[in-house]
Structure formats: structure tokens, C-alpha cells
Structure 1
Amino acid sequence: MSNFERAVEALSNAREAVVFTGAGISVESGIPTYSDPLTGIWARQDPETLETARAFRENPRLIWGWYLWRRYQASIASPNAAHLALSQLSGSGRKISVITQNVDDLHERAGSVGVLHLHGKLSTPKCFACHRPAEIPPPPAIFPADGALIEPPRCGRCNGKLRPGVVWYGEDLPLGIWKSAIALVKNCDVLISVGTSGIVTPAAEIPKLALSSGATVIQINTADVSTGMQNEVMLIGKATDVLPKLCALIPRKVSN
């Protein structure tokens, strides 16, 4: 039996499946990963130096401009075939949960509901001082060429500066979301891990936890990221190629 056939069989027999996604699924919608070189007004910047609380304290205008640019990039991107396939899988009669490391909203725009964002969301900034979530206007149709330095707006409650509502380097994951994700992974029959590098912790522990809990883990990546465990299936290829083919072969489960 081929790996693809094993994946189809495992997912067809599953009652509960968890989809765990990383940057590799969104890059096919045009959203760059942190390892991709930056272009335009950000060509001389290193993303890792921009994604810290210290950087925000030292230069809030630069970091807010970076956030607005990333938010703009996400707003002009569209869900791709992989996002859509996962949304359609939710209609197969199985419980399908989505956990993502991505801070965009492409899963939601594709139709997935209840997505757990481990690293926060670009769409919802929060106050740097009191941490309350806030709302700001949607991104412009065209990002301004001089948009690298933009003063952050202020919190309506404490007048603190707004910051991106994402998890920066050195910060903990949202505890409630992390606990919910762990509970889902421990109870699933199948985990589909898509486009994850396995480097960023603690999120990288999710496939390992699924394996140790007895679930079948289907890895979908352009490179072999498998660990060699018996209940692991490696499918090498682009998410937009592999996921539509896989999901199209999963029969609808009829409830008893």
C-alpha cells in the first residue's frame, strides 16, 4: 500500500481529525515565510529583529508600519486550493478541527470555523500596556510607499500604544488556546500536519504529541519532515496539490 493510500484509509476511518498548519500552506497564497528575503521598503530588515517587544519599545513607528504591511499582504492574498479542501473536508461527517501557526485569516475566509490561532492574528491588534484587544480600520487598497514609519494608534481605555496581536519572539502562546489545542490533539484519530517546519516551539511538539497519543500523523510538506514512526505517513508535495487530491477521496461518514 502506498503512502497516499495509507493516508486515505486513515482519514476515511477517522471520527475526529485535527489539521495543523504552518507557513507552507499560506506561502502558496503569496504570503512570504520568515525565511524568504524581504522586498521593497523592508528589503534591509530582518523579520526576527522586528518581532519582539524590545523592538516595539525602541521604535514603535517602525514595528507598527511592519505590522500594517504584513496585514496588507494578508488582506490581498486569497485562500488557495489547500485551504478550500480543508474547509470542504469539514462537511464529510467527521469532526475536523484546525490549529494554525499562521497569523492570517485564510482558513476562515475559505470557510473553516473555530480555527485556533496559536500565534495570534494580524486582524486584531491589542494594547501594549493593558493587553486589551482593539479594532482598527481595514487595510488600504494600496499600501503607501512611505508606510514604513507609522505612529501606532492609542488604546481607547488606557491610552497605551496599540501593538500587533501576534505572539512575538520570547512571548508565551495564549494559554487557553494552547490548552484547547492540546486537548484536541490528544483525542484525535488523525492529525494532518501541513507546511510546518517543526522548528518553532512549542507548536512543533503537536505532531509528536499526536503520535504518542496513538493517532496517525499525515505529514504534507515539500520536504521529508517525518520522524520514521510507524503511525506516520509522509506525503511530499505542495499543499495545493496533495490536499485537494486527498480530501476528494474521503467518503462522507454517515452517522449511526
Structure 2
Amino acid sequence: MDIQNIFVLTGAGISAESGLGTFRDRGGVWSRFDPMKLATPEAFAADPVLVHDFYNMRRRDAMKAEPNPAHAALARLEADLAKRGGELFLCTQNVDDLHERAGSRAVTHIHGELLRARCTACGESRPWREDLSVATSCPHCGATGGMRPDVVWFGEMPKHLVAIEDALLKADLFVAIGTSGAVYPAAGYAAQAREFGIPTLALNLEAADNAGMFARTRLGPASETVPAFVADLLAGGDGSG
């Protein structure tokens, strides 16, 4: 296998088969809830109780969900690449921890993590599995009322952008899995990969908004397409099956 450094971008579609809803598809989370009332700093300032209720529900759902074969396949790919002197850079738009629970050791969460909480008073972020409320005090500074999910809301800066750009420059292959192709900056990474001359592959249930940016596309459930892609790649193919 000549491909040594692989950049994988995952979106809500990879966790859908674990029971976690997508966001922009028909019937997705944002078709049922108004993101402007639930996922912005302004919404949190205006009605923190409502925002906490929404994210407490999502946190509980994420903890009940189990990784599926797509998550497990990427963990296997990471381990096998490392044995061969390569590297998998796994960048996820998802705020769940299913990649980690499937065995992936290095996961970059561009949109933050549901199972972390951040204090708006002192800025400290820490692992968090319990419900949050306006009465929750920061374990670090003691301030009350400012604890929030450490996720990226609309209007906020995504995380780890420099590390992501560096990894993209080193990649021999760019793969997007279960992404809508509608959320930037992540939706722009396929175009950047093309500009750098990096082969691009999309694994999606249906064509994404930025489908034209990919040299190859395989449609189908992530639990089927991702294990097939990984098996082909590790057998010396190019991941096309």
C-alpha cells in the first residue's frame, strides 16, 4: 500500500446508524429544532435553561449509543497504518465519542465534544458526563451559571484549525464520510485537497452538497461502505473496493 497518510473527515452520517440523528437531512435535528434558539451564544444568554435541556438530552443520547462497524473500521485503519509507518488523521464534525469508544486513539473534534464542559468565566474545559444547569458551579473557579457544553455553536470559531490544515497538506488521500458538504470550513477541505493534488473520495448515503469536489464517490450506509473501503485499502488497493 503506497498510501501512507490519510485524512478522514467524518460527519453525522457515520453516527446515524448508531441511533444519533443527522442535522441537515430531511427529518434531521435542525428540521425539528431551531438552531438559532439552541446552538448560538446568544441563545445561551437568552435562555440557558432551554439550551441546557437540549444538550443534556443529546449528551444522554450520545452516552447510550454504541459504535457501529464504520467506527470500528476506522480504528482498525488507524492501527494498521501506524504499524506500516503511516498515519490516519481523523477529523470529525461529530461531538459524540463513538470514534474513541470504537478504539480510535487520535481524534480531532473540529466542533468540540458533548462530553466536555467549559466555564465561560475562567475558560477551563474538562470531561463532563452529567447534566448541566444554571446552578452548576465550575469545579475550577467556583463561578455559577456559566458552565456550558464545550461544543462549537453557530457564530463561534471551529477548533484545531491549524493542526487540521497541517495534516491536510501531508495527506496522500482525503476521504469524507457521512458529511453533508454544507458546513464550513469542513466542507471546503475537499476543494483544498484537490488544489493540493490529493486524491479525494466520498463515502455517503447520498450525494453531498459538494459532491463535485470528489474524484470518486461510493454511496451506501457507512456501516457497509467504510469497512469495505478499509479492507480494500489494507489489502493494497486504493480504497475504491
User: TM-score range with shorter-chain normalisation?
Assistant: 0.7 to 0.9
**Which residue in 2 is equivalent to 1:204?**
187
Q: Does 1:73 align with 2:61?
A: yes
* Aligned pairs (5 A) from 1:107-118: 107-118=99-110
Q: How does 1:1-256 map to 2 (within 5 A)?
A: 12-35=1-24, 37=27, 45-92=33-80, 93=84, 94-138=86-130, 150-156=133-139, 157-160=141-144, 161-174=146-159, 177-225=160-208, 226-227=211-212, 232-251=215-234
Corresponding residue number in structure 1 for 2:239: none
Contact 1:125–1:133 (CA<8 Å) still a contact in 2?
A: yes
Change (3 A) 1:245 1:170: same
TM-score (norm 1): 0.81
CA distance in 2, matches of 1:115, 1:137: 19
Mean CA deviation greater in 73-82 or 25-34: 25-34
CA spacing shift, 1:249–1:152, aligned 2, 3 Å:
farther
Alignment RMSD, CA only? 2.4
Instruction: Extract unaligned runs of 5+ from structure 2.
Output: 237-241
Report Cα offsets for 1:52-78 as digits up to 9, x if no partner: 111111111111111111100100001
**Which amino acid in structure 1 is aligned with residue 148 of structure 2?**
R
Pair 44,120 (structure 1): closer, same or farther in 2 beyond 3 Å? closer
TM-score under structure 2 length normalisation = 0.86
Question: Which 5+ residue runs of structure 1 have no aligned equivalent?
Answer: 1-11, 140-148
Separation of aligned partners in 2, 1:48 and 1:77: 26
Deviations 1:88-113 (A, max 9, x none): 11232231110011000111111111
Deviations 1:182-229 (A, max 9, x none): 110111000111011111111111111111111111111122232166
Report 1 or 2 for greater relative contact order, CA contacts < 8 Å, sequence distance ≥ 6. Answer: 1
Count of aligned pairs? 227
Identity %: 35
Aligned 8 A contact 1:99 1:115 in 2: yes
Distance 2:163 2:59 in 1: 26
Verify the 8 A CA contact 1:25 1:195 in the aligned structure 2. yes
SS at 1:155's partner residue? coil
Contact kept in structure 2, 1:87 and 1:111, CA below 8 Å:
yes
